[in-house]
Chains A and B, each alone.
Chain A
Amino acid sequence: MTASPRQVVVTGLGATTPLGGDVPSTWEGLLSGRSGARRLTEDWVEQLPVHIAAPLAVEPPLGRVEARTLDRSQQMALVAAREAWADAGTPDVDAERLAVCVASGIGGVQTLLQQHDVLRERGPRRVSPHVVPMLMPNGPASTVGLAFGAKAGVHAPVSACASGSEAIALALDIIRAGRADIVIAGGTEAAIAALPIAGFAQMQALSRRNDAPETASRPFDKGRDGFVLGEGAAIVVLESAEHAQARGARVHGILAGAGISSDAYHVAATDPTGAGAARAVRAALRSASLEADDVIHINAHATSTPTGDVAESVGLRLALGDALDSIAVTSTKSMTGHLLGAAGALEAVVTLLSLRERVVPATRNLDALDDEIALDVVRIDNRKLGAGAGLSNSFGFGGHDVCLAFTV
C-alpha cells in the first residue's frame, strides 16, 4: 500500500452490529452468511404489521451511570468509536487537529418517545434534563467528540440512509482541506421502536416476512418485499497519509474519493432512471482519479425494496457502462438488515475489509436474481477478489446519493 502524503487513509475500524459487538465478529458473520434478523418479542410489536428487525448482537457494554445520560444511538456510537480508536493505535494527535463527523439518520428517537410518555403520564417536572442532548441528531457526534477531546469541529450531516456515508465524505473534505489531521467518522442508528416501524411500514418499505425473519432481507431477489430495520454503529478513523506515516500507523486502506449528488425527484420515491445515483458514482470516481475499469467491487446500497434495487442497477449501468459486467457486487444488508444512518458507515468498513482481505461476502437470500437486475451479484459462495478499487453506495429518503471509493 502506497499513499501520497495528501491522501486520506483509514487507520481504525469499529462497529457494533446485528452480527457482532465488534468488527471481527461482524466480518466473521458476513463471511459465514449469518442473518442478524429475528422476530421481536416486545409487547408493542403485536399491534404492528411488521414483527421483525435486526437488533444489536451485543448490548453496549457501558457502565450504568455512563449509559443513563446517553441515548442508545449515542451509546452505540461510543462503543464503535472506542474500538476504532484503539484499532488506530490510540493516536497521539493535537486536539485542535482532531475532528468528528458522526451521523444519525433519525437521532435519539427512543429517548424522544420514552420522554414523551413521561411527560404525558407524570408531568413536565419528571422529564429528564438530559432529554435534549439525548434526542438531538448531533448528540452522537458530540458524545464521540467529548470522549476523545476533538477540538477541530464536531459534525453530524443528516441525510437519512445516506448519513453515515455523507459523514465519511465530509471527513474526507475536511482532511483534504487541511482543517484536521484525523477525523473520527461514521454513523449510528437506534430506531427499532413502534413509531419508526409503523411509519416505515406505512410507506410499504418494510418486508412483512414475519414468519421467516432470516430470509426477509433479500436484495436483488425476485421475491424481495422490502427492507428489514436494523440498528448499530460503525466508525472509521480517517487520517492524512502524512500524519499516519509520521506516527508509523498501520493502514487498512485509502479513502480515495467521495461523490455526493441529489435526485431533485421526490422526497421518498427512488428516481427510476438512476440518474442521481449515477452522478454520485461518477463524482466519486473523479474525486478518486479512478476510471470505471479500475473498479472491481461494489458494495451496493441494495436495501431489498422492489424499486430501489432496480434503480440502483440502472444507475450503476449509467455510470459505469460495460465495465460493470466485470464488477463483483454484493449487499451487506442481506445479513445485517438496514442500519439507516449507520448503513453507509458499516458498508464502508465492509468494502474496505473486502478489498484488504480480497474476498466479497455473498449476498444472502438471493435465490433467483430479478430479471431487471443487470449486475454480477455475488451469491451462495463468497468470491475471491483481485487487486483494484471498491465503491460503496448509499441513498437516502430526501433524494440523497453518496458514493465512497476505496483502494488498498
Chain B
Amino acid sequence: MSQADILAGLAAILEEVAGVDPADVTADKTFIDDLDVDSLSMVEVVVAAEEKFGVKIPDEDVKTLKTVGDAVSYIQRAGVAA
C-alpha cells in the first residue's frame, strides 16, 4: 500500500474518531499537540488502523508514533512484514 493511501486512510480514521479535518492530516503533524487527539482517542485510532490496514501495532510501539508520518511509515513496514 502506498504512503498516500495510508495517509488517506489515517485521515478518515482521525475524522471519524476525533473530528479532525482530513485536510489537516499531513505527515509532519503530531497527533497530540497539532491534531488535538487525546491519549484515549489515540487508542481508538490505533485499533481502527489495525483493522483497516491489517497490521498489529503493539501498545509499546504506540508511544513511538508521535507524528502522522511516524504512523504511516510504521504501518507501511508492518504491512510488508505481514
Q: Which residues of A contact B (CB under 8 A)?
A: 63-65, 68-69, 125-126, 128-130, 133
Interface string of B1-31 (1 = CB under 8 A from A): 0000000000000000111000000000000
B contacts with A: majority SS: helix
Which of A63, A128, A129 is the one whose CB lies under 8 Å from B19? A63
B40 contacts chain A at the CB level, 8 A cutoff: yes
Measured CA separation A130–B17 after assembly (Å): 11
Q: How many residues of B contact A (CB 8 A)?
A: 8
Measured CA separation A195–B17 after assembly (Å): 29
Q: Cβ of B19 and Cβ of A130 under 8 Å apart?
A: no
Which chain A residue shows the least CB distance to B38? Answer: A69
A contacts with B: majority SS: helix
Nearest CB of chain B from residue A325's CB, rounded to whole Å: 57
Q: A125-B47, A126-B47 are in contact. Are A65 and B40 (CB under 8 A)?
A: no
Which of A64, A126, A129 is the one whose CB lies under 8 Å from B40? A129
Q: Cβ of B18 and Cβ of A129 under 8 Å apart?
A: no
Q: Cβ of B19 and Cβ of A64 under 8 Å apart?
A: yes
Measured CA separation A130–B18 after assembly (Å): 12
Chain B residues with CB under 8 A of A69: 40-41
Which chain A residue shows the least CB distance to B19? Answer: A65
Q: Cβ of A128 and Cβ of B44 under 8 Å apart?
A: yes
Q: Cβ of B47 and Cβ of A130 under 8 Å apart?
A: no
Q: List 8 A-B contacts (CB under 8 A).
A: A63-B19, A65-B19, A126-B47, A128-B44, A129-B41, A129-B44, A130-B44, A133-B40
Nearest CB of chain A from residue B12's CB, rounded to whole Å: 14
Chain A residues with CB under 8 A of B17: 68
Nearest CB of chain A from residue B41's CB, rounded to whole Å: 7
Nearest CB of chain B from residue A128's CB, rounded to whole Å: 7
Measured CA separation A126–B17 after assembly (Å): 14
Measured CA separation A65–B18 after assembly (Å): 6
Measured CA separation A366–B24 after assembly (Å): 60
Chain B residues with CB under 8 A of A65: 18-19
Nearest CB of chain B from residue A62's CB, rounded to whole Å: 12
Chain A residues with CB under 8 A of B40: 69, 129-130, 133
Measured CA separation A69–B19 after assembly (Å): 12
Beyond A65-B18, A69-B40, A69-B41: 6 further Cβ-contacts under 8 Å? A125-B47, A126-B47, A129-B40, A129-B43, A130-B44, A133-B40
